[in-house]
């Protein structure tokens, strides 16, 4: 059930109206949200509900056992069990084919892919259950008193399949002071949902996706112009697709009164790679920081160990996105840039204007996106080489004039806007917009959402 | 909650403009309604785009093991030439399934249907001696492959609900593919091109309406000569084969599957849809009727054939582009065709 589908709108209307009718019956409200979440998840593939239940139950009991246990060794064993079961699920469903293919490649034997369907959102909810167990192990979180509260935390439908990855410490306390429906939150939630949907349906799917897809599907030779237009289009597509989804999720949750963490803060306005990762997929990067980078030693040891930790964290972050070498390279490149940036910042003080720094980071991030989007390493290299090919011949792949116009135009607008409002929360932007402009903006957004449809409307991050 | 600092949910704006937000939604609905009304007022009609998956689902729906299915196979001529409202009225107890594909000869789909034991109904197959040839067999492969690859996911309840919930789009002129915002804006701003008013409208049942009353005569003349020239070059580009070779080819490809199909209760009608005299002359010169079309029923035992020249009232038609009936002409042709059909066969 996609947020941009009529089925979801119907589903949402039924749930929110029933939720409102339950007024102050908190237990029933939680029950309704839990059932709705499983229906939402089951709409993709009902048997996979068993998988999410498995993950929920395992971590519920293991976290309780960790909390009860006084012996550190036993605690560690329980934690290890949690890690093995959660990462095991990921390994089986997400990485089996990748591992077997890599082994076959090394041993030069034949490889026939196993017929495994990737359960949607598995990477997101296993990270949530994992963080719960780890936090309890560290003593920074007390286990939930109610299994249903915990089950709802794992399966809460707005963020279930593509994040943001919510920490139990952020979500579970909201049950203690159970949020009532209020009109202010409801309208603000709907406004966020509308903006997110506009990003996804109109900018990502309708304008940019067809342009980006063309570049990555062509078998023709590629030159500089095509690479520029196609890569910029993908850059805009992935941002609008994913941040659009996150904003929809945050908005929907808020209409029920629940607060979810931010996932994006104008990432293309970043002036460094470390800033980029504080602005892009924040819930994942902060998860990786707290549960991988810091346990690895973070920046507490030698400089070399710090660079190594940055590199490993991003490499595994890349692998989290998908089971292919391209994602590994994508992560490795980000890790390398982060390490290089840290190395340079201690030695060279460059007083470049902020905008110039932003442009440099944006160009590099764009180049790395090529590995993220291309299906194979060869295809990525072919597109990268296109950057150095200024030939303009008939047998080369080329874009229509309007596609060039849309890709460059939309990306210029996105970059300019992100740079201008880089430190301003969305709430304060909405606050400051004069009423007539606000009216026109939402009129345009509603109209375009309702009338314009892209060819492919699935969210990119569902596959992760 | 230290994370909630930027985009969204820690603080809602003080000035949330709730009323303005609700008003903008109401205004959007009004704007869409007014635009739809204006379009209708200016002779724009609803038109729907069907995906390969939609076609595959339709194809799947033909496998109902019922003899009360009538399936149309062919290309644009049957899509534009059949008044499906009239046809459905005349065959009320039947499920009418339209599998014709614009611009593509339907021989491949025909074979796919008659070889499928789950299909038992009747097929009305619009074709010509030229497009029955072996070279045309693969022209609807993309659609047939979509059917073969139809995954269980595509038949899910969720998709059916989505299809029902969004079916209002079929009835709205504002969703016409030619009113594509991206192209309209590009034509206006970049290419400085005039807006080409749509005259073909895709109906909900996939049949087409050609509403040509607003087309200038000059445009229609150009279209007619273009169609004729295209046909000339296709005839010239395709290696010629004698009637005997053609008959051998037809028998080899179609004979056995058709025999099996008819044996299990299927009925198959080959129809040659109307075209202009100029076009017909050219076709008959290359494929004389007595040596090609009229041989069909003796090569393929059990089939019925209808040539538009034999259907009184439409045998001397003058079409807008040389080969396609417009909306008014199909309303004349279909009753004649149905009468003729009822005379020769009891479906």
- In this predicted model, what pLDDT tens digit does every residue of B197-231 receive, in sequence order? 788 888 888 899 998 887 888 888 999 999 999 88
Read off the tokens for B9: 């949910």
- A39: nearest CA partner in chain B: B158
Read off the tokens for A267: 């990432």
**Contact residues, chain B, for A6 at CB < 8 Å:** 162, 165-166
- Position A272 pLDDT exceeds 80: yes
- Cβ–Cβ below 8 Å for B162 and A264: no
B26-54 mean pLDDT: 88
Mean pLDDT for chain B overall: 85
- Percent of chain B's residues with pLDDT above 70: 93
In contact, A235 and A325? CB cutoff 8 Å: no
| Rg of chain A taking only CA atoms, in angstroms | 23
Is residue B112 very low, low, confident or very high in pLDDT (cuts 50, 70, 90)? very high
H/E segment holding residue A360: helix A354-373
- Position B2 pLDDT exceeds 70: no
- Percent of chain B's residues with pLDDT above 90: 36
The alpha carbon dihedral of A165, A169, A172, A173 has a sign of negative
Distance of residue B252 Cα from the nearest chain A Cα, in angstroms:
37
Distance of residue B112 Cα from the nearest chain A Cα, in angstroms:
28
User: Which of B1, B4, B9, B14 is the best residue to mutate to test the A interface, defined by the most A CB atoms within 10 Å of its own CB?
Assistant: B9
**Contact residues, chain B, for A254 at CB < 8 Å:** 8-9
CB atoms within 10 A of CB B243: 14
- Position B158 pLDDT exceeds 80: no
Helix (H, G, I), strand (E, B) or coil at B201: strand
**Contact residues, chain B, for A446 at CB < 8 Å:** 24-25, 28
- Cβ–Cβ below 8 Å for A250 and B7: yes
CA atoms within a 13 Å half-sphere pointing along the CA-CB vector of A168: 30
Give which of B45, B124, B109, B42 is closest to B79, Cα–Cα: B124
Kindly list the residues of chain B whose beta carbon comes within 8 Å of any beta carbon in chain A: 1, 3-18, 20-25, 27-28, 31-32, 158, 161-162, 165-166, 174-175, 181-183, 185-186, 189-191
- A440: nearest CA partner in chain B: B24
Please give the full DSSP string across A104-171, using - where no structure is assigned: HHHHT--------PPPTTHHHHHHHHHHHHHHHHHTSSPPPS-HHHHHHHHH-GGGTTT-----HHHH
- Cβ–Cβ below 8 Å for B13 and A5: no
A435-444 mean pLDDT: 94
**Contact residues, chain B, for A5 at CB < 8 Å:** 162
Residues 6+ apart with CB under 8 A from B319: B224, B274, B275, B276, B325, B326, B329
How many CB pairs below 8 Å do chains A and B form together?
A: 138
DSSP state of A347: T
Tell me the pLDDT tens digit for each residue of A277-292: 999 999 999 999 999 9
Is residue A109 very low, low, confident or very high in pLDDT (cuts 50, 70, 90)? confident
- Cβ–Cβ below 8 Å for A185 and B162: no
pLDDT at B153: 55
- Position A454 pLDDT exceeds 70: no
Distance of residue B38 Cα from the nearest chain A Cα, in angstroms:
16
Distance of residue A143 Cα from the nearest chain B Cα, in angstroms:
18
Q: Distance between CA atoms of A143 and A61, rounded to whole angstroms? A: 10
Provide the annotated active-site residues of A: 321
Mean pLDDT for chain A overall: 89
CB atoms within 10 A of CB B1: 15
H/E segment holding residue B272: strand B267-272
pLDDT at B5: 37
Among B5, B9, B189, whose Cβ lies nearest the Cβ of A254? B9
Q: Distance between CA atoms of A372 and A370, rounded to whole angstroms? A: 5
Backbone angles phi, psi at B234, to 5 degrees: -65, -40
Q: Distance between CA atoms of B185 and A401, rounded to whole angstroms? A: 12
In contact, B304 and B267? CB cutoff 8 Å: yes
Spell B84-114 as b/e; 16+ CB within 10 A means b.
bebbeebbeebebbbbbbeebbbbbbbbbbb
H/E segment holding residue A226: helix A224-255
Residues 6+ apart with CB under 8 A from B220: B212, B320, B321
Q: In what order do the strands lie in the sheet with B69-73?
A: B95-98, B69-73, B122-126, B267-272, B304-307
> First and final CA of chain A: distance in angstroms?
16
- Position A206 pLDDT exceeds 50: yes
**Contact residues, chain B, for A405 at CB < 8 Å:** 186, 189-190
- Cβ–Cβ below 8 Å for B20 and A438: yes
Read off the tokens for A464: 């992760």
Distance of residue A284 Cα from the nearest chain B Cα, in angstroms:
12
- Cβ–Cβ below 8 Å for B21 and A442: yes
Helix (H, G, I), strand (E, B) or coil at B125: strand
| Rg of chain B taking only CA atoms, in angstroms | 24
Q: Distance between CA atoms of B332 and B208, rounded to whole angstroms? A: 15
């Amino acid at each position: 059930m996609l947020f941009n589908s009529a089925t979801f709108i119907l589903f949402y209307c039924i749930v929110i109206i029933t939720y409102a009718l339950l007024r102050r019956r908190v237990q029933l409200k939680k029950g309704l949200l839990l059932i709705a979440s499983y229906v939402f998840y089951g709409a993709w593939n009902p048997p996979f509900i068993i998988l999410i239940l498995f993950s929920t139950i395992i971590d519920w009991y293991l976290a309780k056992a960790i909390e009860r246990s006084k012996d550190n060794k036993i605690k560690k064993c329980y934690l290890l069990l949690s890690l093995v079961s959660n990462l095991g699920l990921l390994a089986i469903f997400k990485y089996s084919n990748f591992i077997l293919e890599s082994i076959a490649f090394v041993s030069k034997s034949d490889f026939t892919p196993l017929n495994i369907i990737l359960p949607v959102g598995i990477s997101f909810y296993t990270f949530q259950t994992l963080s719960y167990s780890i936090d309890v192990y560290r003593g920074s979180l007390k286990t939930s008193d109610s299994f249903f509260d915990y089950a709802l935390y794992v399966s809460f439908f707005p963020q279930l399949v593509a994040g943001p990855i919510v920490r139990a410490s952020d979500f579970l306390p909201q049950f203690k002071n159970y949020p009532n429906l209020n009109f202010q939150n409801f309208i603000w939630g709907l406004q966020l949902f509308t903006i997110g949907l506009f990003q996804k349906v109109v900018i990502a799917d309708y304008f940019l996706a067809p342009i980006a897809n063309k570049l990555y599907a062509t078998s023709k030779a590629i030159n500089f112009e095509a690479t520029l237009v196609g890569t910029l289009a993908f850059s805009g597509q992935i941002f609008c697709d994913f941040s659009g989804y996150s904003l929809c999720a945050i908005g929907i949750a808020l209409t029920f009164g629940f607060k979810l963490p931010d996932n994006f803060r104008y990432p293309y306005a970043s002036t460094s790679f470390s800033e980029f990762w504080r602005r892009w997929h924040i819930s994942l990067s902060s998860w990786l920081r707290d549960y991988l980078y810091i346990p690895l030693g973070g920046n507490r040891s030698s400089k070399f160990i710090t660079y190594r930790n940055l590199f490993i964290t991003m490499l595994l972050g890349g692998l989290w996105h998908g089971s292919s070498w391209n994602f590994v390279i994508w992560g490795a490149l980000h890790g390398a840039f982060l390490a290089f940036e840290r190395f340079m910042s201690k030695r060279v003080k460059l007083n470049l204007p902020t905008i110039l720094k932003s442009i440099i980071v944006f160009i590099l991030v764009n180049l790395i996106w090529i590995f993220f989007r291309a299906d194979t390493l060869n295809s990525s290299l072919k597109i990268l080489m296109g950057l150095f090919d200024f030939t303009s011949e008939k047998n080369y792949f080329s874009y229509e004039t309007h596609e060039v116009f849309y890709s460059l135009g939309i990306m210029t607008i996105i970059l300019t806007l992100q740079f201008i409002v880089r430190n301003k929360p969305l709430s304060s932007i909405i606050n400051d917009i004069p009423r007539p402009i606000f009216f026109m903006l939402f009129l345009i957004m509603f109209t375009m959402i309702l009338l314009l449809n892209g060819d492919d409307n699935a969210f990119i991050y569902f596959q992760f | 909650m230290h994370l909630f600092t930027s985009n969204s949910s820690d603080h809602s704006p003080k000035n949330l403009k709730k009323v303005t937000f609700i008003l903008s939604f109401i205004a959007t609905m009004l704007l869409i309604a007014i635009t739809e009304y204006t379009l209708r007022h200016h002779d724009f009609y609803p038109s729907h785009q069907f995906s390969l998956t939609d076609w595959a689902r339709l194809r799947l729906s033909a496998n109902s093991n019922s003899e009360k299915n009538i399936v149309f196979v062919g290309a644009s001529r049957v899509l534009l030439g059949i008044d499906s409202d009239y046809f459905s009225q005349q065959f009320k107890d039947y499920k009418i399934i339209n599998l014709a594909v614009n611009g593509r000869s339907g021989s491949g789909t025909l074979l796919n249907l008659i070889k499928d034991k789950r299909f038992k109904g009747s097929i009305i197959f619009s074709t010509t001696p030229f497009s029955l040839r072996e070279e045309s067999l693969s022209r609807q492969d993309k659609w047939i492959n979509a059917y073969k690859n139809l995954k269980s996911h595509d038949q899910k309840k969720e998709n059916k609900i989505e299809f029902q919930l969004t079916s209002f789009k079929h009835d709205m002129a504002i969703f016409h593919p030619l009113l594509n915002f991206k192209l309209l804006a590009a034509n206006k701003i970049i290419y400085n091109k005039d807006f080409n008013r749509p005259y073909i409208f895709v109906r909900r049942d996939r049949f087409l309406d050609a509403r040509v009353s607003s087309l200038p005569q000059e445009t229609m003349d150009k279209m007619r000569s273009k169609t004729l020239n295209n046909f000339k070059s296709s005839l010239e580009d395709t290696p010629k084969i004698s009637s005997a070779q053609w008959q051998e080819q037809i028998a080899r490809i179609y004979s056995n599957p058709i025999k099996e199909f008819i044996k299990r209760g299927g009925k198959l009608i080959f129809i040659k849809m109307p075209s202009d005299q100029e076009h017909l002359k050219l076709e008959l010169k290359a494929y004389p009727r007595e040596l090609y079309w009229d041989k069909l029923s003796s090569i393929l035992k059990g089939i019925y054939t209808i040539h538009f020249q034999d259907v009184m009232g439409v045998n001397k038609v003058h079409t807008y582009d040389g080969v396609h009936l417009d909306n008014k002409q199909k309303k004349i042709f279909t009753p004649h065709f149905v009468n003729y059909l009822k005379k020769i066969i009891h479906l």
